[in-house]
Structure 1
């Protein structure tokens, strides 16, 4: 069931400046993941912070993928993808998957750094958590699609910290003592 949220109809809400939106979003920390998809030897992926858990019953994730990204068409075609949470010491992996090293498609998957999961999707060996998902829904909004994936397998490590992106640079989360406890 689709329900319109009040104030979202054209002409009701004021136009937001794109540049101001992008500057504001730079201040919002995001955990970096590699969103990857494969169909045999045809593999591609991208670095992203626009992903999140959706629900635990059943376990599902959502990812936001630009419709011009190579991963978009492969996810639509195979109806599968993986979400690989990048550890803080894997900045080079992010550079590779954000087109900073001139590599594309399967060339981004360096030997020894990746394995193939039970549903055939690429899993980053050093990932804090790697999720293989079946695509259950896709919704186009502006330049992106929101893909909803039902988790089919999980691999995880507890001995590393996640790599984050905030204010145009990489960061790590640092725990603080609980307040008032």
Structure 2
């Protein structure tokens, strides 16, 4: 049997994009930082987003049934940390960026690398997490060219830097 610590250590070596996942609706405005996001299919466009069931905003995502995946650029490290920290309220977190809305009303970070506006189609409970299967309703891409990624428990940059 694989120990949870061994699994987490191994997973720290899987390079992942850093995302801020947001929701808005009758259950309120909430968000969290996630690396567990991936494409499921392009027909229909569908993403998978994993969220810890013990998260303080978990019920809000379940109740709102919508979310946005905001893929962060290199300048968003502070924003990522704020959405991952329990010391900030939801209101304080959203003061750190410039936000807009597309189809669902979930907050879209204006200068995210790319944002996917989604409605949650299905929720599966797997161990400590909920797996949201999300139908993509709208996409907004920016001019950013550098992605913020997480590898070996640290932030890194992937992409092309413009040379002056």
Q: Aligned ranges for residues 129-168 of structure 1 at < 5 Å? A: 129-168=114-153
Structure 1 runs (4+) greater than 6 angstroms displaced: none
Match of 2:99 in 1: 114
- Distance in 2, matches of 1:159 and 1:167, equals 24
What's the TM-score, normalizing by structure 1? 0.83
- Distance in 2, matches of 1:165 and 1:104, equals 24
Q: Which has the larger radius of gyration?
A: 1
Q: Any unmatched runs of 5+ in structure 1? A: 1-14, 176-181
Structure 2 counterpart of 1:78, from 47, 54, 64: 64
Residue 46 and residue 167 in structure 1: after superposition, are their counterparts in 2 closer, same or farther (change >3 A)? Answer: same
- Distance in 1, matches of 2:132 and 2:97, equals 28
SS in 2 for 1:159: coil
Q: Any unmatched runs of 5+ in structure 2? A: none
Answer 1 or 2: which has greater strand percent. 2
* Paired residues, number: 160
How many angstroms does 1:117 deviate by? 2.4
What's the TM-score, normalizing by structure 2? 0.91
* CA RMSD, Structure 1 to Structure 2 (Å): 1.7
Match of 1:61 in 2: 47
